[in-house]
Structure 1
Amino acid sequence: MSDRTPILPVLAALLAAAAAPALAAEPAKPATPVKPDWAEALYNPQPDKEDLVLPMPCGGAMTFRKVAVPAEGVLDDRRVELGGGEAKFAYSENSRRDYVAGGFTDSKARNLRFFYLGKYEVTRQQFDALSGGACAEPGDEARLPKVQVTWAEAVAFAGAYATWLVKNAADRLPAEEGASGFVRLPTEAEWEFAARGGIAVSESVFVQPAFPMPEGPERYVWFQGSESANNELNAVGLLKPNPLGLYDMLGNAGEFVLDPFRLNKLSRLHGQAGGQTVKGGDFRTPLADIRSAAREEFVPVDKRGERRSPSTGFRLALAAPSLPTTQRIGTVRKAWEDLPKAAAAAIAGPQDDPVKEVEVLRAAVEDPALKQRIGNLSTVIKSSIQTSNEQRARAARSEIRVGAYLARKLADDKRIIATKERQMEALSTANQQLKDGIRRALEADRAALDFNLGYYIDTLTQLNAEYPEGLMLAQAEGLKREFEARDLAALNGFIDLCIRHAARLRADGKLDRPNTLGEIPAP
């Protein structure tokens, strides 16, 4: 199939042909998994045990990676800072706030949801597998990203693949409350969240222009220049991945996302929607302009007709329905109704709920116009309270993070002191000068430990004064998921210790310093 062959009529024929055998299948019988016939290098050149591999027509396959997002409930999402601070791109990319969430529930970890993103850009071989024609043998260009596509063709490809998966490999698809997931283009927020490293990197790293590249950018990105792409599109999976195990997120082929392009208006997107949004830069992008915030407008037509680009392709996301069941609708409705109540309880007493007060006023008036204005005011108050509640939750998590780091610092202090004490015991009287030096260092270390212990207890005192126990427990669990994603799971024990000490302080009104220090294990 040539780059300029219209895909929509072909996909329509494919779907019509696939529908007939599907009608004859037994509805209750699960789909039989399709084992890929392709060589693994064609669909997963850099395999990892955490990969999700889904089959495709023609014996092919596509590989996905999990993108985790901490969440306490169905309406919980994560606020992220997208965009960047470069003045020359501010009209398009100025820093702005957005939100991401996962649709699949993690059965193995509390307070964690996730979506999937294609590990690699969709390749020519994968695209051709859904062309509706005869299955082609892999050629030299099979692993090159599929470019010269329109946004509509990328969307149609996702729709055709989603349909094929449900009919041929439903038991391989992740599900939410029994409803199968489906593939689509990622939203811009999903794409950029994943490109930056998601929760696998710290917040200070997340906002950097690009994810960490300790071996140099030429090992992670295909960019303009003879030391990198050399003005050529390259096969997927040849370089190193980002912190989430995703390849070629920056450079190589620019990638369509689901959202239309909009300009930036200071800290938000402008109201006018234009063409399609392309993310990530490509093999013609100078290294100085490689950045996670990069976004360009792709106008779908010009004076010659339909536009295509030799440097623009796409990758797929695997998502879950927001409302997979009627039971979920009830859960969401209840959670939505509780949003302002839960927030109001955090900032007002039980007899001083501003939302209830406004509703009472609304019910008391008869003038329709005034009733509407009071209703609008109620919505504004609810939104303000919810924003305050989210800020409070983030502050609690940050304070718990400090407490965990302090507990770890106390453990390090104890280890250092114990080592020097053993050195003192091992030295003979002939080494008096050396012993005196170690003794002075020990005195300084013990003073530092005592100061850090006081700081730790002060932090726990502040936690108890500012945040209710339920909020602390929920944020502690969310922080654990973040640490696990960043390979810092060793700190989770210190989070538990911090929460346990806070509970004891809340119950007893004080913490015994020697006992508290004794419960902190030295590494």
Structure 2
Amino acid sequence: MIHRIGGAVAALLLLGMTPPPAAGAGWPADHADPRPAAGDVALPMPCGGRMIFRRVETFGPAHWLADQKVRLGTGDPDLGFREDLRFDHVVGGLSTGGKPDRRHFLMGKYEVSAAQYAAVMAGCDALPAQGGLPKDDAGWFDAVDFTRRYSEWLLANHKDKLPMEDGAPGFVRLPTEVEWEFAARGGNRVQPAQEVARTFPMDGPLTDYVAHADPRSCDGMTQFIGSLKPNPLGLHDMLGNVGEIVMDAYRSTAQGRLHGQVGGFVVRGGSCLTSANDVRTAERHEEPFFAADTGGVRRPPFTGFRVVVGMQVATSQSRIEALKADARRGVQAAAPVAVADLPAAARALAVQAPTPAMADSLNRLASEIGAEMRRRTEVEADGARMAVRSAAMLMRGYRDEMVQVEKLDEQLKLLGAELRARGEKTRDAYLNRARITGEAYLSHLVSATETFGAEALRRQLPQVEAALDFPGAEGLRAMTRRFVQHAQTYQQKRPTDLSPLLADCRRPLE
């Protein structure tokens, strides 16, 4: 594909960025990391280059078989055959301090650039002058071969730079579809209500974040990596520019799940060929592995990829034993004893069954009961976490509105009669909103405590706080803790007058 490079350079100049110099001048920063940011993780590359990654946090209960439930897809009925709303699970292979409750994976901050691809696949003499453009016209085999060669180079030359888990080094691979969409939506940096939006939250027009099919955007050419603003995780070009190949083979969606037929490979996120109306985080389409006209590898236009740092699951014998132990006690830890005994009782009967067919039926029944119990427990945990986060948002709204009331009361003291009358109307409007928000908070407190119980809400507090572990969310974390305290007070005392709890919402945060 021929790209109109002159226009791309002009676009960079308008953005205040320096166009990449010729390859002979070395490896320019714009070819690997044009927008450095706090939290970046760098791995070396051949020819003196770098690959930049961002942490994508996942949360779950503190055991190795725990994972995070995530929502995927869209509710558009016309796209139900390939993007139907469904739930899946994700968890990072890297832990903090070897503990299973704080886990993450590393995702490429940018799409793999032309310079990075050339350095791994063709050598230093092949670095292109316009190496800051994304690698495109790529096929699935190209992307997979890149990850293989890059992993081999890292393991041979910079093994000590790779993240380690339980003594085992990580490796570079393509992201799974679940990892890709979870990260594209903003991961745990977005509120639950924003997960179902068409795109991640944007503070400005679409053209500030997404290179798409518009004369004011792509205008028929790929854009340099990092030209536009990142998503909430600090990832650039998750939507638009070039479509991104993922590891999974394509499957349609059918009634909230993946269909059983496996097809070609999956390309995510749209590209410079995608119209503004079609830009969405759920976008996915199928490409054949091979071109029907030539019989060779299929390399679609405006198609590239980004990579993640992954980790094997069974890193050691001790980790295998931990996984076995978590599998054995998983149901028992999630349900009352009498209920948790049902799968074990069915398996015990299977041992004594008079025929192999009956034993198989009983073992299948035990598995189905266990799966249903885990599903129900997971649904309850999701609801409890949502209740804690929603309570914090209501508390923040009430506090903010009451602050405005107090400010206006002070200002009214300084105004004359005519202006004071107008100001009182504004003050009364804030006071009425605060009353409505306060009543909503207390109603939510009662409903959540009666539905889940104070202890269940408290158990979800670490995961909610972890999901809010980013700059600017300190107040919300404190409010989640205060809400749990209110739930415990309500459950213990069952007060008929809840106004002291509402007043406590305004107490300084700790």
2:147 — aligned with what? 158
- The 3 A distance-change label for structure 1 pair 150 and 504 is same
1:112 — aligned with what? 102
2:159–2:169 contact (8 Å) kept in structure 1: yes
Q: 2:75 aligned with 1:90, yes or no?
A: no
Task: Give, in angstroms, the shift of residue 454 of structure 1.
Answer: 6.1
- Equivalent in 374, 395, 413 of residue 362 of structure 2: 374
2:455–2:488 contact (8 Å) kept in structure 1: no
1:200–1:486 contact (8 Å) kept in structure 2: no
- The 3 A distance-change label for structure 1 pair 88 and 357 is same
Q: Which amino acid is 2:265 matched to? A: Q
Query: 1:465-484 residue pairs with structure 2 within 5 A?
Result: 465-467=450-452, 471-484=456-469
1:199–1:486 contact (8 Å) kept in structure 2: no
CA distance in 1, matches of 2:436, 2:225: 53
Secondary structure of the structure 2 residue equivalent to 1:80:
strand
Q: Which amino acid is 1:166 matched to? A: L
Q: Which amino acid is 2:93 matched to? A: G
Task: Give, in angstroms, the shift of residue 206 of structure 1.
Answer: 1.8
CA distance in 1, matches of 2:285, 2:422: 66
Secondary structure of the structure 1 residue equivalent to 2:82:
helix
2:210 — aligned with what? 221
Q: 2:321 aligned with 1:330, yes or no?
A: yes
Q: Which amino acid is 1:227 matched to? A: R
- The 3 A distance-change label for structure 1 pair 369 and 75 is same
Task: Give, in angstroms, the shift of residue 391 of structure 1.
Answer: 0.4
CA distance in 1, matches of 2:423, 2:218: 57
Q: Which amino acid is 2:245 matched to? A: F
Secondary structure of the structure 1 residue equivalent to 2:391:
helix
Q: 2:394 aligned with 1:406, yes or no?
A: yes
Secondary structure of the structure 2 residue equivalent to 1:126:
helix
2:408–2:423 contact (8 Å) kept in structure 1: no
- Equivalent in 244, 257, 273 of residue 255 of structure 1: 244
2:302 — aligned with what? 311
- The 3 A distance-change label for structure 1 pair 230 and 321 is same
Tell me the TM-score normalized by structure 1: 0.82
Deviation string, structure 1 residues 123-165 (Cα, Å, up to 9, x no partner)? 12111112354x1275432112122333122112111211222
2:282 — aligned with what? 293
CA distance in 2, matches of 1:285, 1:427: 57
Task: Give, in angstroms, the shift of residue 253 of structure 1.
Answer: 1.3
1:411–1:522 contact (8 Å) kept in structure 2: no
CA distance in 2, matches of 1:139, 1:474: 54
- The 3 A distance-change label for structure 1 pair 244 and 99 is same
Deviation string, structure 1 residues 30-61 (Cα, Å, up to 9, x no partner)? xxxxxxx7332221001101111110111111
1:72–1:474 contact (8 Å) kept in structure 2: no
- The 3 A distance-change label for structure 1 pair 124 and 443 is closer
RMSD between aligned residues: 3.1
1:279–1:295 contact (8 Å) kept in structure 2: yes
CA distance in 1, matches of 2:340, 2:100: 33
1:28 — aligned with what? none
CA distance in 1, matches of 2:429, 2:260: 63
1:412–1:522 contact (8 Å) kept in structure 2: no
Q: Which amino acid is 1:381 matched to? A: I
Of 123-132 and 253-262, deviating more is: 123-132
Secondary structure of the structure 2 residue equivalent to 1:466:
helix
1:279 — aligned with what? 268
2:251–2:261 contact (8 Å) kept in structure 1: yes
Task: Give, in angstroms, the shift of residue 494 of structure 1.
Answer: 0.8
2:9 — aligned with what? none
CA distance in 2, matches of 1:210, 1:388: 30
2:119–2:126 contact (8 Å) kept in structure 1: no
- The 3 A distance-change label for structure 1 pair 263 and 513 is closer
Query: 1:45-64 residue pairs with structure 2 within 5 A?
Result: 45-64=34-53
Q: Which amino acid is 1:122 matched to? A: V
CA distance in 2, matches of 1:99, 1:440: 47
Query: 1:32-43 residue pairs with structure 2 within 5 A?
Result: 38-43=27-32
CA distance in 1, matches of 2:250, 2:147: 20
1:146 — aligned with what? 135
Secondary structure of the structure 2 residue equivalent to 1:64:
strand
Task: Give, in angstroms, the shift of residue 117 of structure 1.
Answer: 1.0
Secondary structure of the structure 1 residue equivalent to 2:244:
strand
CA distance in 2, matches of 1:48, 1:450: 42
Of 503-512 and 256-265, deviating more is: 503-512
Q: Which amino acid is 1:490 matched to? A: G
1:93–1:293 contact (8 Å) kept in structure 2: yes
Q: 2:477 aligned with 1:502, yes or no?
A: no
Tell me the TM-score normalized by structure 2: 0.84
Task: Give, in angstroms, the shift of residue 171 of structure 1.
Answer: 2.7
Max Rg structure:
1
Secondary structure of the structure 1 residue equivalent to 2:193:
helix
- Equivalent in 256, 266, 270 of residue 259 of structure 2: 270
1:354 — aligned with what? 342
Of 179-188 and 202-211, deviating more is: 202-211
Secondary structure of the structure 2 residue equivalent to 1:359:
helix
Task: Give, in angstroms, the shift of residue 185 of structure 1.
Answer: 0.4
1:21 — aligned with what? none
- The 3 A distance-change label for structure 1 pair 164 and 97 is same
Secondary structure of the structure 1 residue equivalent to 2:468:
helix
Q: Which amino acid is 1:520 matched to? A: C
Q: Which amino acid is 1:89 matched to? A: L
Of 251-260 and 467-476, deviating more is: 467-476
1:6 — aligned with what? none
2:190 — aligned with what? 201
1:17 — aligned with what? none
Q: Which amino acid is 1:394 matched to? A: D
Of 459-468 and 255-264, deviating more is: 459-468
2:138–2:299 contact (8 Å) kept in structure 1: yes
Secondary structure of the structure 2 residue equivalent to 1:264:
coil
1:520 — aligned with what? 505
Deviation string, structure 1 residues 467-512 (Cα, Å, up to 9, x no partner)? 3555323311211222334843321111111122323344445487
Q: Structure 1: any 5+ residue segments left out of the alignment? A: 1-36
Task: Give, in angstroms, the shift of residue 439 of structure 1.
Answer: 11
- The 3 A distance-change label for structure 1 pair 158 and 511 is farther
Q: 2:389 aligned with 1:395, yes or no?
A: no
1:119–1:246 contact (8 Å) kept in structure 2: yes
Deviation string, structure 1 residues 322-375 (Cα, Å, up to 9, x no partner)? 222222212211212222222332xxx647843244234334432221111011
1:110–1:477 contact (8 Å) kept in structure 2: no
Task: Give, in angstroms, the shift of residue 221 of structure 1.
Answer: 1.7
1:344–1:353 contact (8 Å) kept in structure 2: no
CA distance in 1, matches of 2:358, 2:197: 48
| Percent identity of paired positions between Structure 1 and Structure 2 | 32
CA distance in 1, matches of 2:190, 2:115: 33
- The 3 A distance-change label for structure 1 pair 471 and 335 is farther
Q: Which amino acid is 1:479 matched to? A: V
Secondary structure of the structure 2 residue equivalent to 1:472:
helix
Task: Give, in angstroms, the shift of residue 515 of structure 1.
Answer: 5.1
2:13 — aligned with what? none
- The 3 A distance-change label for structure 1 pair 502 and 162 is same
CA distance in 2, matches of 1:144, 1:353: 58
